């Protein structure tokens, strides 16, 4: 009996991994990569890069912050105690599926007021965040309040959050291929107090 339950759970896990991967593959086919490509000159031209997101979107952007730091860029995660004031010449990379998360919109408003550029990652161009952005990258995933299964069978905004992680990793890979710094050099910047 216990063996059967374990096999059922294992089969469920395998099916859910397949579901998640398939949804991400389908989403990847719907992304406008010419839109995503515009983030490259924004990053390259920024004096400093600030990243902001709430919840799991914020966690995905923390991962992106680490990779950008590995490239030797000056990177800050909004909300950390050592994050300085944003100013003209800086870039704020902001993620919000709905584009209405108040703390993210407020950060974008402050960035614009300071003369910084904002690049938004969102599921919709019709949002306060997208309207504030110099450029909005639309990720055609379900928003966290979309409890239907037409866009995604996953819970809440999972597909959006996964896409943010994958897209920002692709941005890093692209920047790295342009930079041509050997992996051994990037590794010297990796955290060594772990």
Residues with catalytic roles? 161
User: What dihedral do alpha carbons 76, 45, 181, 85 form, nearest 10°?
Assistant: -20
Q: Could you give the CA distance from residue 103 to residue 83 in angstroms, rounded to a whole number? A: 16
14: DSSP letter: H
Phi, psi torsion values for 146, nearest 5 degrees: -80, 100
93: DSSP letter: E
CB 117 within 8 A of CB 134: yes
Q: Could you give the CA distance from residue 93 to residue 179 in angstroms, rounded to a whole number? A: 20
CB 166 within 8 A of CB 28: yes
The residue to which tokens 């905004």 are assigned: 157
Q: Could you give the CA distance from residue 114 to residue 84 in angstroms, rounded to a whole number? A: 13
194: DSSP letter: -
């Amino acid at each position: 009996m216990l063996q059967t339950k374990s096999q059922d759970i294992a089969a469920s896990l395998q099916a859910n991994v397949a579901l998640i991967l398939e949804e991400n593959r389908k989403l990847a086919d719907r992304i406008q990569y010419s839109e995503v490509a515009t983030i490259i000159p924004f990053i390259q031209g920024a004096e400093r890069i600030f990243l902001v997101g709430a919840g799991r979107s914020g966690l995905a952007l923390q991962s992106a912050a680490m990779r950008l730091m590995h490239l030797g860029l000056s990177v800050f995660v909004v909300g950390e105690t050592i994050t300085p004031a944003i100013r003209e010449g800086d870039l704020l990379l902001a993620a919000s599926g709905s584009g209405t998360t108040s703390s993210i919109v407020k950060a974008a408003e402050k960035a614009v007021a300071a003369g910084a550029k904002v690049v938004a990652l969102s599921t919709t161009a019709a949002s306060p965040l997208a309207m504030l952005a110099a450029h909005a990258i639309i990720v055609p995933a379900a928003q966290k309040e979309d409890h239907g299964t037409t866009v995604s069978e996953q819970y809440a905004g999972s597909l959006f959050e996964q896409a943010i992680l994958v897209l920002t990793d692709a941005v890093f890979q692209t920047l790295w291929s342009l930079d041509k710094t050997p992996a051994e050099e990037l590794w010297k910047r990796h955290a060594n107090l772990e």
